[in-house]
Amino acid sequence: MKKTATRLADGRELIYYDARDDAVRDAVDQRPLDPISTTSEIRRDPLLGDCVAVASHRQGRTYHPPADACPLCPSRDGKHTEIPAADYDVAVFENRFPSLAGDSGRCEVVCFTSDHDASFADLTEEQAALVLDAWTDRTAELSQLPGVEQVFCFENRGAEIGVTLGHPHGQIYAYPFTTPRTERMLASLAAHRETTGGRNLFDDVLADEHADGRRIVLDAEHWTAFVPYAAHWPYEVHLYPKRRVPDLLALDDAARTEFPQVYLEVLRRFDRIFGEAEPPTPYIAAWHQAPLTAPDRADFALHLELFTIRRTSGKLKFLAGSESGMNVFINDVPPERAAERLREVAGK
């Protein structure tokens, strides 16, 4: 992998990740952009104790542009975009409309490919491996920024999810705090250790899924994909490396090598579960990494959570009163049936 860092016209950082060591990235951003001005701030809810990012500048962000005006495509034919090069493998840049900025953290956009009409599932294993390398490198770099507590790599796909740009891409958030969801995991981890005489919760969850077997979707040499026992979403898959590590940086070579084939297969099954007549399955894919300052960081298990809000053909799972008002999920699809369905569409 070759990494080339440069700056956009308004001063934001742009990094190219290339599979070839001889790639040359010397294109200059020709756009007459003003320096970025953001108003992001973090406010803590006194009742719940969690944090909310207030970012009013995001009201003006790009919203569903036509394909020929996509800001994530390469700059070609006189059309200048966020990526000055005429082509690229993987590109990462500071978000022009960040939810977090300055002392409140940092947000980056990760473009998986220059092909506007592709998706992550269309990538080759070599391309997916390069994205994994980029996620890992950005985790390492962002972890060094002052005040950053947690690095979150994720992808939103589909208009149903709320994606405003159709080009295949994800994002990375560098939070200045530990997120509420992770705090709950850490609390459960500590409680489990206390009540079981030192056992690890993540290890036990993975062992229980293997022992049961009904919710296993894919069992590879170094990774396991399964539908969790208490899945919140109609189709939800958790992907764990079999050797517990706290973050992407700690993955060994064997796990890194196998990840692309496993993840691509799971994504392709997601696109098959509702049949070819349906549009591509909308989903969120979220990497859970240990917070940087967690006292029990080594006990945390890196894992990826993938889920869709589509519950059946033509129907979405909406977060209504119970979910939105009380955070109590009601799942219409039994996890065992979801896993069975994801096994049925293997390799079709």
pLDDT digits (tens, 9 = 90+) for 196-254: 999 999 999 999 999 999 999 999 999 999 999 999 999 999 999 999 999 999 999 99
Residue 276, pLDDT score:
78
Residue 170, pLDDT score:
97
pLDDT digits (tens, 9 = 90+) for 292-315: 999 989 999 999 999 999 999 889
Q: Kindly list the domain boundaries of the chain, sorted by start residue.
A: 2-175, 180-245+257-282+292-344
Cα atoms in the Cβ-side hemisphere of radius 13 Å centred on 280: 18
Please say if 210 is a catalytic residue: no
Residue 332, pLDDT score:
93
CATH class held by domain 180-245+257-282+292-344: alpha beta
CATH code, 2-175:
3.30.428.10
Q: Distance between CA 159 and CA 312 in Å, rounded? A: 17
Residue 201, pLDDT score:
98
Residues 6+ apart with CB under 8 A from 340: 214
185 pLDDT above the threshold of 70: yes
Domains 2-175 and 180-245+257-282+292-344 belong to one CATH topology:
yes
63 pLDDT above the threshold of 60: no
Annotated active-site residue in 167, 169, 288, 303? 169
Q: Distance between CA 283 and CA 120 in Å, rounded? A: 11
Burial class (CB in 10 A: 0-12, 13-18, 19+), 194: exposed
Residue 64, pLDDT score:
64
pLDDT-derived band at 68 (thresholds 50, 70, 90) equals confident
More confident residue, 135 or 103: 135
Q: Distance between CA 213 and CA 286 in Å, rounded? A: 24
Model pTM?
0.95
User: What separation, in Å, do the N-terminal and C-terminal C-alpha atoms of the chain show?
Assistant: 32
